[in-house]
Amino acid sequence: MPQLTKSAELFEKAKKFIPGGVNSPVRAFKSVGGTPVYMAKGSGAYLTDVDGNTYLDYVGSWGPFILGSMHPRITAALEYTLKNIGTSFGTPIEMEIEIAELLCKIVPSLEMVRMVNSGTEATMSAVRLARGYTGRDKIIKFEGCYHGHGDSFLIKAGSGALTLGAPDSPGVTKGTAMDTLNATYNDIDSVKLLVNENKGQIAAIIIEPVAGNTGVIPAKPGFLAALRELCDQEGIVLIFDEVMCGFRVALGGAQSLYGVTPDLTTMGKIIGGGLPVGAFGGKREIMERVAPLGDVYQAGTLSGNPLALTAGLETLKILIDENPYPELERKAVILEAGFSDNLKKLGLNYVQNRVGSMSCLFFTETPVVDYTTAVTADTKKHGKYFHSMLDQGIYLAPSQFEAMFISFMHTDEDLEKTIKANYNALVASGK
């Protein structure tokens, strides 16, 4: 069992100066209990904490590390930029064109791209753009999908009245809540109902084409295509939020995997290679409305800075050069099959959802297809499972409703170790 003495000390101190001790809520371990682990170093698929314990990392900085931490090519590129270029100019730089051109080549729907500094910025900007373009105010999102912490997205489904959302956080105004409608993931009728009740008022439908923030929930066959058709009929801008699944489930994202083309795409995580980056882009006709070419305002002091773009560009180049996707799929299948065997041996029927190298083991026997079925998971059992895995040196996301990410750096030996730990942790969770 790893000792977390130093982590516990740091957490106590952090709580004095940082709300909840953390700069992003899930890091506080609230849903699994216990002390958050303070990491000191990352290398490949491994993390070392401040007490000297090492862990196999299945969080990957919440998605960016598809190539593991500190990939030598990315590190070298960053060093080069630091020494020879600089960290920021606030002027146009050549690298911006390079990454925009590359993104347009890789992601089917992109004709123009704007770089920003986070996924949240990307989704906020895409929604503003869709509103400006259509001249409409309302948007439809899906219950359980996460699009960052912009006001328009912190809206939960209202109780009773289907069409009225409610703020999901104090500080989000009722006015904002009125403009965001919640549909049910994988249920096209729920979307059609909202569209019909708000004829001519919906600017955009925004969706994670592989939902990754309620555990992992794949879109059912035909669901995304049905959304596309509905948006075409009604003049609604279809936004795929590929901040997590983009460059993860395939180089071209979920849209290339499923063959459905959105009007706008939001990106983040992997295209930052571990530095803060986001982007949004899509159809030329819509993107031409972005300032200064168009009238929809969007800006950023550090947007397109050379350091962040270097990490992103190098990541994309490695993904193109090495095509790690078949290998990631092979590894993900090994892990999934190993977990399945363990479940079978223990007479458990828990659900595993997976698309490529993102997966989730839900502590429920109910097939998970949307938010309602996801929350049937037994989070207490998951908490025990999480801590048993941690004790065995496997670092998972500290929440039932997060994805498990495999990186190119996980070896077959690492996977074997993880499968053994999974057996023990499943036993521990049952007690």
Ligand X SMILES: *Cc1c(COP(=O)(O)O)cnc(C)c1O
Residues that bind ligand X (CB under 6 A): 118-120, 123, 146-148, 208, 212-213, 241, 243-244, 268, 278
Residues 6+ apart with CB under 8 A from 294: 132, 288
If the CB atoms of residues 369 and 426 are measured against ligand X, the closer one turns out to be: 369
If the CB atoms of residues 210 and 332 are measured against ligand X, the closer one turns out to be: 210
Residues 6+ apart with CB under 8 A from 116: 122, 125, 277, 278, 279, 280, 298, 300, 303
146 labelled catalytic: yes
- The answer to whether residues 26 and 402 touch, using CB atoms and an 8 Å cutoff, is yes
If the CB atoms of residues 25 and 33 are measured against ligand X, the closer one turns out to be: 25
Task: Please state whether the peptide bond connecting residue 292 to the residue before it is cis, i.e. omega within 30 degrees of 0.
Answer: yes
Q: Which of 179, 241, 370, 414 is catalytic?
A: 241
Q: Coil, strand, or helix at residue 268? A: coil
414 labelled catalytic: no
Torsion angles phi and psi, residue 247, rounded to 5? 65, 5
Q: How far apart are CA 311 and CA 307, in angstroms?
A: 7
Q: How far apart are CA 117 and CA 427, in angstroms?
A: 42
Q: Which of 46, 58, 146, 350 is catalytic?
A: 146
Shortest distance (Å) from residue 401 CB to ligand X: 12
The residue with tokens 């035909």 is: 222
30 labelled catalytic: no
- Quote the longest CA-to-CA distance of the chain: 61
If the CB atoms of residues 58 and 146 are measured against ligand X, the closer one turns out to be: 146
If the CB atoms of residues 4 and 406 are measured against ligand X, the closer one turns out to be: 406
Burial 18-48 (b: 16+ CB within 10 A, else e): eeebbeeebbbbebbeebbbbbeebebbbbe
Torsion angles phi and psi, residue 80, rounded to 5? -60, -45
- Going through 14-154 in order, the beta strands assigned E by DSSP cover 39-43, 46-49, 54-57, 112-116, 138-142
Helix (H) or strand (E) holding 354: strand 351-355
Beta-carbon count within 10 A of 84 CB: 8
Q: Which of 141, 269, 331, 381 is catalytic?
A: 269
Nearest to 203 by CA among 238, 229, 228, 175: 238
In angstroms, the Cα distances linking 243 to 117, 135, 210, 254, 274 are 12, 25, 10, 11, 13
If the CB atoms of residues 223 and 350 are measured against ligand X, the closer one turns out to be: 223
If the CB atoms of residues 278 and 425 are measured against ligand X, the closer one turns out to be: 278
Query: Two tokens at 10?
Result: 């740091």
Residue nearest ligand X by beta-carbon distance: 119
Shortest distance (Å) from residue 213 CB to ligand X: 5
What residues act catalytically?
146, 241, 269
